[in-house]
Amino acid sequence: MSGTIMITGCNRGIGLELTTQFARDGWNVFACCRNLERAAELKSLQIKYPHIQPIELDVTDYEQMISLGKALEGVPIDILFNNAGYYGPKGMAFGKVDRNEWRRVLESNTIAPYMMAETFCDNVAASDHKLIAMMSSKVGSIADNRSGGGYVYRSSKTALNQVVKSLSIDLQDRGITVIALHPGWVKTSMGGPGALISATQSVTALKEILIHVGQDKSGRFYNYDGSEIPW
């Protein structure tokens, strides 16, 4: 299978690896990142795979997002993968939470992915595959929370999961599948060097889900290995 995928947060880590693997498989890739001037690896990748189109997009800049939506009006997008996110400062335990940073994390991780879905749902509906995927995290699972803490990042991903569930219902009549994904604990700048798997391993597994998932799996939360995670 090949088609067109739009990915946010493509300048490094999982987003860059998603861009690499889909481009290598012959997909057209709208590779979005906040600052193209600093995206040297993405630019180098485009030289190797000309069907990568780097796009400057700050997902929290909604005027910029709307302008991109108008520029891509009528262009089918088989997979919209909202990968971009923000963890926030570490060490914000109970009693040490920065409210302004909490708002920033919610803006990036919850509101922006919803706005991407709203802006590009017509493009997804016009495609063959019709998939919207949200990069969530297992720490957003309420059922799985046994350690407490992590108020800022956890709550942003829990809220994102609720967005996924509602979108799966609201967009069902248009044939659009909406899923939440956990990439595993990945060796990236966010995951750190002590993480368990590489970005290559994570994306190789995620790609299998993205390509094969259908509407019967819509509104669900999946680990990178394909197992379902409880909300």
Q: From the first residue on, what is the mean pLDDT of each consecutive set of 10 residues in the chain (231 residues)?
A: 95 96 98 96 95 98 98 98 95 94 98 98 98 98 96 98 98 98 84 78 97 97 97 95
pLDDT value, residue 187:
76
Architecture of domain 4-223: 3-Layer(aba) Sandwich (3.40)
Per-residue DSSP letters for 61-73? -HHHHHHHHHHTT
Specify which residues 30 forms β-bridges with. Answer: 6, 53
CB atoms < 10 A from the CB of 50, how many?
A: 8
pLDDT value, residue 190:
65
SS3 76: coil
pLDDT value, residue 189:
64
pTM for the full model?
0.96
**Do 83 and 14 touch, CB atoms closer than 8 A?**
yes
Tokens in use for 98? 């920065």
